[in-house]
């Protein structure tokens, strides 16, 4: 219950600050809210959230959107936001880094299915948590572990249980009761 209240409060606070109506894609969610949701999702993963420092990579098709997301993550980090008391570092990933990105989680904002397919192989091989911010339902069905989307103007988190296991990840039980699960 506390987790649900915390996530709801975060969403309401951010939605109130932005005055933006959400649509059917996470890419339409303001960058500050995306950053807050992604950090909350990572916080619920048992292995990553226990690390002393956490590395997040962002891979985007749209360079402007990437920079806005990076700014939102860095701004929240500068304000002292932590993931279970651990500081986090965020950086943009280039195509040349996809085979070994050196991060704990990747937030994917790419609309190229071939690149997403390559990322799925990389995240499974290197045990990296994958989170999709666009085409979430399709990408979660394809093998991305977590998808961030909206339904009826409300953020929705999708989780592919099989992919989570293949990436060597495990989420808190309470978190799993709040998301839409896929096999």
DSSP state of 73: H
The CB-based long-range contact list for 176-181 (8 Å cut-off, 24+ gap) reads 178/3, 178/4, 178/7, 180/156
Domain ranges, ordered by start, for the chain = 2-182
| Residue that has been written with the tokens 């993550």 in this structure | 73
Return the closest-CA partner of residue 76 out of 61, 65, 87, 84.
Answer: 87
114-127: pLDDT as tens digits: 999 999 999 999 99
Q: Which CATH architecture does the domain made up of 2-182 adopt? A: 3-Layer(aba) Sandwich (3.40)
145-164: pLDDT as tens digits: 999 998 888 889 999 999 99
CB count within 10 Å of CB 119 equals 26
CB count within 10 Å of CB 127 equals 13
Per-residue pLDDT in tens (0 to 9) along the chain, 183 residues: 444 434 443 433 333 333 233 235 666 788 999 999 999 999 999 999 999 999 999 999 888 888 999 999 999 888 889 999 999 999 999 989 988 899 999 999 998 999 999 999 999 999 999 999 999 999 999 999 999 998 888 889 999 999 999 999 999 999 999 999 998
No. of helices (H) and no. of strands (E), the chain: 8, 7
In the chain, the DSSP E strands lie at 54-60, 88-92, 105-109, 129-132, 146-151, 154-160, 180-182
pTM of the model: 0.84
């Amino acid at each position: 219950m506390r987790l649900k209240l915390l996530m709801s409060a975060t969403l309401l606070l951010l939605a109130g600050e932005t005055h933006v109506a959400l649509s059917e894609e996470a890419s339409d969610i303001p960058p500050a809210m995306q950053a807050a949701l992604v950090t909350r999702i990572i916080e619920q993963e048992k292995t990553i959230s226990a690390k002393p420092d956490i590395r997040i990579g962002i891979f985007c098709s749209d360079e402007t959107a990437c920079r806005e997301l990076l700014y939102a993550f860095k701004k929240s980090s500068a304000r002292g936001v932590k993931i279970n008391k651990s500081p986090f570092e965020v950086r943009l990933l280039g195509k040349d880094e996809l085979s070994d990105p050196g991060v704990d989680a990747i937030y994917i904002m790419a609309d190229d299915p071939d690149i997403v397919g390559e990322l799925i192989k990389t995240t499974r091989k290197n045990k990296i948590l994958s989170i999709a911010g666009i085409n979430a339902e399709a990408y979660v069905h394809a093998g991305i572990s977590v998808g961030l989307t909206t339904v009826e103007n409300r953020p929705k988190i999708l989780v592919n249980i099989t992919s989570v296991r293949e990436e060597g990840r495990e989420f808190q039980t309470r978190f799993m009761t709040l998301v839409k699960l896929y096999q």
